């Protein structure tokens, strides 16, 4: 398995992408850094040392900027490039629209753009002087609706690193991708965050594996939540899987310590109303469920109170970070230790 590219980790934890990168290095799991990370290519590489890492590329409109990103990834010893093609335009995300929420506008997720000399040369003012203008330029570059197979061939020509394409959901596209020189396929619907009617990746995996006939590895992304999902994917032909939301939840609750637990990917069990000192198991509430579930273990004796969302907004406490989760939405409301962990902040 690999840790999937998830952008803007700074909205989950103050350590942003450094936390999952360090945890992946310790666990021996390859980490894929998102193009829209808050931390830069170089910062993540320094944090991981010699550990295995890939770089995800949203191909910009400007070819010089594309080349710059690739050269930076090569210089920082990333082992592969993942070209994502299923998000050339932001999806219609109604919850974000209702809340007028776009973290990019404050500079979150812009680390690789704002640190890039080619990108900065395209601006009238440096990002620190006009964040909004820089963000809008970056979004204009990243929302590359003109990306075609010809552009993929250009990316292929610019790097000797292994090149994977992420976002394949049809066997015909899989065959075309192989013909254009990719070294691997990632079957993905962007975690279901782009099109509400997108096909399930597990449903299309067998036909894609059959189409490429073993010429390149086929990885599966989107929907992996537990070990049984991994087994099903491998049984249907996947070479490996990408894990996304499970480690994002762990990151939000406890930073690197949360991600750096193999139990992040273990089987979950429902938990009823509970109030006690938890010695080895930390509780995590899924924003997609109205029940409280166990997600992973921590070496902690943090006292916590967990209630079903039907009763009240569940309260999640950790010794270093405190958050409240309302069903479908997570809002940080305090940092540091709580004076009384048994009461809502």
Catalytically active residues are 190
Is the Cβ–Cβ distance between 35 and 58 less than 8 Å?
yes
How far, in Å, are 165, 210, 239 from residue 175 at the CA level? 12, 10, 17
For residue 68, the SS3 value is helix
Phi, psi of 245 (to 5 degrees): -55, -40
Phi, psi of 250 (to 5 degrees): -60, -40
**Token pair of 125, please?**
């003012």
Is the Cβ–Cβ distance between 315 and 305 less than 8 Å?
yes
**Crossing angle of helices 171-179/201-212, nearest 10°?**
40
Please give the Cα distance from 44 to 18 (Å, whole number).
Answer: 6
**Crossing angle of helices 63-75/41-48, nearest 10°?**
20
- Say how many residues make up the chain: 345
Provide the Cα torsion 14, 18, 19, 23; round to 10°.
180
What would you report as the CA-atom Rg of the chain, rounded to the nearest whole angstrom? Answer: 20
């Amino acid at each position: 398995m690999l840790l999937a590219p998830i952008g803007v980790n700074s909205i989950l934890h103050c350590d942003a992408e450094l936390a999952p990168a360090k945890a992946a290095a310790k666990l021996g799991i390859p980490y894929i850094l998102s193009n829209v990370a808050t931390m830069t290519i170089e910062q993540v590489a320094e944090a991981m040392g010699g550990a295995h890492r890939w770089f995800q590329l949203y191909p910009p409109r400007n070819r010089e900027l594309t080349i710059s990103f690739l050269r930076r990834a090569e210089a920082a010893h990333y082992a592969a490039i993942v070209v994502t093609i299923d998000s050339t335009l932001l999806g219609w995300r109604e919850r974000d629209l209702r809340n007028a929420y776009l973290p990019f506008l404050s500079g979150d997720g812009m680390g690789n753009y704002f640190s890039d000399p080619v990108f900065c040369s395209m601006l009238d003012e440096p990002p620190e002087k006009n964040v909004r203008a820089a963000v809008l330029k970056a979004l204009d570059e990243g929302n590359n609706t003109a990306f075609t197979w010809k552009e993929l061939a250009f990316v292929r020509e610019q790097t000797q690193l292994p090149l994977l394409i992420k976002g394949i959901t049809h066997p015909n596209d899989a065959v075309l991708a192989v013909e254009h020189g990719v070294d691997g396929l990632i079957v993905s619907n962007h975690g279901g965050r782009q099109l509400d009617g997108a096909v399930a990746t597990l449903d299309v995996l067998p036909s894609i594996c059959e189409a490429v006939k073993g010429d390149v590895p086929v990885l599966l992304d989107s929907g992996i939540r537990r070990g049984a999902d991994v087994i099903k994917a491998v049984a249907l032909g996947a070479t490996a899987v990408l894990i996304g939301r499970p480690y994002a939840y762990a990151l939000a609750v406890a930073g690197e310590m949360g991600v750096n637990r193999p139990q992040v990917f273990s089987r979950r069990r429902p938990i009823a109303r509970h109030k006690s000192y938890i010695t080895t198991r930390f509780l995590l509430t899924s924003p997609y469920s109205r029940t409280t579930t166990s997600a992973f273990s921590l070496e902690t004796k943090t006292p916590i109170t967990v209630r079903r969302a039907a009763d009240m907004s569940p309260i999640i406490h950790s010794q270093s970070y405190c958050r409240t989760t309302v069903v479908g939405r997570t809002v940080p409301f305090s940092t540091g230790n709580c004076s009384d962990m048994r009461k809502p902040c």
